[in-house]
Amino acid sequence: MSPPKIELSGVKKAFGEKIVLDGIDYALPEGESLVVIGGSGSGKSVLLKCILGIIRPDAGSIRIDGEETVGAGSEAREKVRGKIGMLFQGSALFDSLPVWQNVAFRLIQGQGMERRQAKEIALGKLAQVGLAPPVAELYPAELSGGMQKRVALARAIASDPEIIFFDEPTTGLDPIMADVINDLIVASVKKLGATTISITHDMASARKIATRIAMIYGGKFIWAGEAKDIDRSGNAHVDQFIHGRAEGPIQMAVRRP
């Protein structure tokens, strides 16, 4: 049996006094799409950044294709990063570069591809996310939020990565555009056969993208399972979250009138 594509064990991270991740264990097999749900500030983005090696975990192990990445040398880390595409929560497009160069960035800078050929591929990826060639010449600041998300999606899939992370791909979009993005994610994942981890607050989006779901609370995965079982989790935290209720075991730190 081949090792899981991504394997987390005992991943911990604290910022000063504040414990964000408190021992995350999970094994994600190849070709699966995990959606991580959880409240704002529960450490979802931090978890992705730990896997990417942008944030160094305090403890634990993260294996990708069976290879340890925590504490690995920069060369090994580079090799792992080459397999991963990421859609950042705030898009994080390079505002000094036109759209097509954003999409083609890894192809040109990372892989040293001819600019002509890279542009060709970038235009193809932009078409996949429903953006016409004239958009390719614009700068990110000239785009709407939804268009920026789509460019970021095109950039994440541009180098045909084996693993893709989507950090809140639909937050801040209208419901129709959100569904368009969901469809795009599902379609591009199917096309690439990629293993994905997505983060979302949006249950409609989670149901659409996920084959598996995990809920993070108090720095741990308090529930993890098949996406179809989310409504029968038998976990009060999960039930409260997916139905969006203020009353329940999860108490927001707000003062009630």
Partner 1 sequence: MIGILATIGRAFLEGLAALGRLVIFAGAALGHMVRPPFYPRLIGRQMIEIGYFSLPVVALTTLFSGMVLALQSYTGFARFSAESAIATVVVLSMTRELAPVLAGLMVAGRIGAAMAAEIGTMRVTEQIDALTVLSTDPYKYLVAPRLIAGATMLPLLVLIGDILGVFGGYLVAIYKLDFNAAAYLRRTADYLEFMDVVSGLVKAAVFGFLVALTGCYHGYNSKGGARGVGQATTNAVVSASILILVFNYIITELFFAR
Ligand X SMILES: Nc1ncnc2c1ncn2[C@@H]1O[C@H](COP(=O)(O)OP(=O)(O)OP(=O)(O)O)[C@@H](O)[C@H]1O
Convert residues 77-96 into a mask of x (bound to ligand X by CB under 6 A) and - (unbound).
------------x-------
- Calpha distance 205→241 (Å, rounded): 14
Site residues (CB under 5 A) for Mg ion?
Answer: 45, 89
Which of 205, 124, 122 lies closest to 169, judged by CA?
A: 205
Which of 95, 113, 81, 223 lies closest to 152, judged by CA?
A: 95
Stretch that binds ligand X, among 42-50, 93-101, 153-161, 184-192 (CB under 6 A): 42-50
In whole angstroms, the minimum distance from the beta carbon of 54 to ligand X comes to: 9
**Tokens linked to 160:** 């045909």
- Give, as ranges, the residues between 220 and 239 that touch ligand X (CB under 6 A): none
Q: Between residues 122 and 214, which has the closer beta carbon with respect to ligand X?
A: 214
- Calpha distance 212→220 (Å, rounded): 16
- Calpha distance 149→98 (Å, rounded): 15
Q: Select from Mg ion, partner 1, ligand X, none the partner in contact with residue 40, using the beta carbon and a kind-dependent cut-off of 5 to 8 Å.
A: ligand X
- Give, as ranges, the residues between 2 and 21 that touch ligand X (CB under 6 A): 15, 20
Q: Between residues 162 and 167, which has the closer beta carbon with respect to Mg ion?
A: 167
Instruction: Identify whether the C-beta of residue 99 lies closer than 8 Å to the C-beta of residue 143.
Output: yes
Among 24, 28, 46, 93, binds ligand X (CB under 6 A): 46
Instruction: Identify whether the C-beta of residue 107 lies closer than 8 Å to the C-beta of residue 158.
Output: yes
In whole angstroms, the minimum distance from the beta carbon of 111 to partner 1 comes to: 8
Name every residue whose Cβ is closer than 8 Å to that of residue 185 and which is 6 or more positions away in sequence: 153, 166, 169, 196, 198, 209
Instruction: Identify whether the C-beta of residue 69 lies closer than 8 Å to the C-beta of residue 63.
Output: yes
Tell me the one-letter amino acid at 252: M
Q: Between residues 80 and 216, which has the closer beta carbon with respect to Mg ion?
A: 216
In whole angstroms, the minimum distance from the beta carbon of 71 to partner 1 comes to: 17
Site residues (CB under 8 A) for partner 1?
Answer: 49, 52-54, 78, 81-82, 84-86, 88-90, 92-96, 105-106, 109-112, 155
Q: Does 161 bind ligand X (CB under 6 A)?
A: no
Chain positions contacting ligand X, by CB under 6 A:
15, 20, 38, 40-46, 89
